[in-house]
Amino acid sequence: MRKVSTLALSVALALGVAACSPQNQTETANEQAAEQVQQQLSSGLDMNDFNTEVRPQDDLFTYVNGGWVERTEIPADRSRVGSFNELRDENQERLRKIIETAAASSPEPGSNADKIGDFFNSFMDVERLNNLSYQPIAGDLEAISKLQNHDQVAAQFAQLARLGVSSPFGFYVYADAKNPDVNTMYMSQAGLGLPDRDYYLKDEEKFVEIRDAYQSYIGDMLTLVGYDAETATTAAEKVLELETKLAEVQWSRVESRNADKTYNKKTMEEVQELLGAFNLGAYTEAAGIATVQEAVVRQPSYFEDFGGMFENVPLDTWQHYMSLRLVSNFANALSEEINDRQFAFYGKVLRGTPEQEPRWKRGVDAADSALGEVLGQLYVAEYFPPEAKDRMETLVDNLIKAYGESIKELEWMSEETKQKALEKLSKFTPYIGYPSEWRDYSALVVAEDDLVGNYKRSAEFDYQENISKIGEPVKAEDWGMTPQTVNAYYSPVRNEIVFPAGILQPPFFDMNAEDAVNYGGIGAVIGHEIGHGFDDQGSKYDGDGNLQSWWTDADRAAFDERGAQLAAQYGTYEPLENVFVNGELTLGENIGDLAGLTIGYRAYVDSLNGEPSPVLDGFTGEQRVFLGWAQVWQTKQRDEYTRNQVLSDPHSPAYYRVNGTVVNVPAFYEAFDVKPGDDLYLPPEERVTIW
């Protein structure tokens, strides 16, 4: 948090009072001091983006962003544009500069700077990639074609996992939700080529069209890696049929986000029982995890159903399936013909994006994916000043304090549960900007003339680091995002909130703006991430990260009732005709938004220390908190993107993250004098209050 507005006003008033004793002179000094503050600070709002023909009481999103939406065309290489995309663009330019500077500095062979340049250059050598076509993965395709039985298929799934290639199930390593000081292995359903199971199962015309396009894509991709046309056509039919069977038995995204139902600790012998004829031993041996004794199985019924169907799927169907997964995974590193065909489906059909991004941007992303913390270390050195981290630490402290005050005042929660909630809040660990220790990439080999090899070695490098953690103590600081990422996250098992340097820029965090928009921007984002510790799933973990209830039965029932009301509210929102927001899937994020904005506003009011907020650009500070929130979610997106988002993303579309949140915040009604008859008015009994 930046205290400039409050502190500057307080100091100016004190100096004024010391210099002038008569009342009229004091008032004049006060006015002059307030005017001076306004001249020194910006509001942090871009008034050119507003549409003042719309009232904030009727549509806050359009009031703040309508002008921008009206004049903004979505570029041909995008499925959406908005505040996140603009920051990503800026960061890509910065990372490109870092990469090119590193590559031009005659770095020592094998150094981090050398690896950055070599990875980027290997991606940019299009002529070489076109000449090679699919040859860099020809050996892997041949290995798949020579498989002779289903046990070898099981082992091949593991080999593909080491390359980062998806198969019908996968695993990851993270803190054990019931023993959070130790890492364990989690096994989860996977392996679909379409974004969600509903794409295979829904009968609406749009989904039938997508499935037809996907089947054509499968056939074309297999043809491009050596299949004859007739075999490719038959293979495409078999692969789509197989993936449909997998989709039929997979858990929905709503079921898969249930922390209780997805924690099923089993011995590997019990996992083998679930998998039936699938040879788990062959898989774990090839995966290098044969000594692992237990795992958390997230969707047990899926593993049982998959095991039941595994041996009944013909060998050649599994071979076609794995060949597709392989070429789809590496398409970005193969010839333009292969890459373009993949984009034609995943970019144009699924996201509605007419053109690919320029190759240099994709090259930056490629280097970033493989060498993220190398780039991150250089990024923060140049673009993240220490004072920004200091200000963020103050903001986080203030938000946590405000959250605690709010918990103490809750009318629906008992004192017993409040104390447990406050105990959990006191144990939150915030990380800001960048990790205290940087990852060591010295063992990773990068070659300027071997893009697929670079991807493979990077995947194996990550894989080995991942499996080495199984059964080991959890490191105090092990970030899930690179510093240059424009995002933030909360981990319930680690009870930590992480804010990478990449998001700490306008409109989220403006060093030159008066406090209000920062509280509505990054302040509400901080509150959002804290809120995940108390959303419908995060609230199931205690302050030490244990998956165990700290609620009384009555309080939990009251909390769940409020969550159900919020889910029902969002379930009425219809971003496209007959396409409704899934209130249950988005419940955690919607609780985070509601808590974040509520607490962000409270923290801003607390920061005023009883003084009136300054008026800037005609808005009070209280109003600018909400305007700042709306500005953060400035977005315009294609219908295809929206459809995909509603089916597969736990975040609501941006429009509803603004308007769907403020209708439940009493301070919004006070700030803008929202009354019955206004479109954003809800009667008090229909407003959802949680935190």
Q: Quick check: helix, strand or coil at residue 687?
A: coil
Determine the pLDDT at residue 106. Answer: 82
Q: Which amino acid is at 418?
A: K
pLDDT at 105: 81
Strand, helix or coil for residue 616 = strand
* pLDDT the model gives residue 512: 87
pLDDT range class, residue 423, cuts 50, 70, 90: very high
187 CB-near residues (< 8 Å, 6+ apart): 169, 170, 171, 271, 295, 296, 297, 298, 303
Q: Note the residue count of the chain.
A: 691
pLDDT class of 46 with cuts at 50, 70, 90: very high
Predicted confidence (pLDDT) at residue 15 exceeds the cutoff of 50: no
What percent of the chain is modeled with pLDDT above 90? 91
The pLDDT score that the predictor gives to residue 102 is: 84
Query: pLDDT (tens digit, 9 = 90+) per residue, 558-568?
Result: 999 999 999 99
Over residues 626-631, mean pLDDT: 98
11 by Cβ neighbours in 10 Å (0-12 / 13-18 / 19+) ranks as exposed
Percentage of residues in the chain having pLDDT higher than 70: 94
What pLDDT is stored for residue 591 in this prediction? 98
Place of tokens 């995940």: 532
Q: How confident is the model at residue 33 (pLDDT cuts 50, 70, 90)?
A: very low
Helices (H), 225-358: 229-249, 253-256, 268-275, 280-287, 300-310, 315-330, 336-343, 350-351
Q: Average pLDDT for residues 423-443, to the nearest whole number?
A: 96
- The pair of three-digit structure tokens given for residue 41, joined into one six-digit string: 């600070």
Of 369, 366, 458, the closest CA to residue 122 belongs to 366
- 3-state per-residue secondary structure call for 58-118: CCHHHHHHHHHHHHCCCCCCCCEEEHHHHHHHHHHHHHHHHHHHHHCCCCCCCCHHHHHHH
Element (H, E) at 433: strand 429-433
| 270-to-249, 275, 304, 521 alpha-carbon distances in Å | 20, 9, 11, 48
Residue whose C-alpha is closest to residue 197's, from 182, 212, 216, 211: 211
- Give the pLDDT score at 511: 86
Instruction: Supply the DSSP string of 114-141, one letter for each residue.
Output: HHHHHHHHHHH-HHHHHHHTTGGGHHHH
32 phi/psi in degrees, rounded to 5:
-65, -40
3-state secondary structure labels for all residues of 536-585? CCHHHECCCCCECCCCCHHHHHHHHHHHHHHHHHHCCCCCECCECCCCCC
Q: How confident is the model at residue 256 (pLDDT cuts 50, 70, 90)?
A: very high
> What pLDDT was estimated at residue 388?
87
Query: For 55-89, how does the pLDDT look when each residue is reduced to its tens digit (9 = 90+)?
Result: 999 999 999 999 999 999 999 999 999 999 999 99
Residue 577 has pLDDT above 90, yes or no: yes
| pLDDT surpasses 60 at 32 | no
pLDDT confidence of 41, banded at 50, 70, 90?
A: confident
For residue 16, pLDDT beyond 50: no
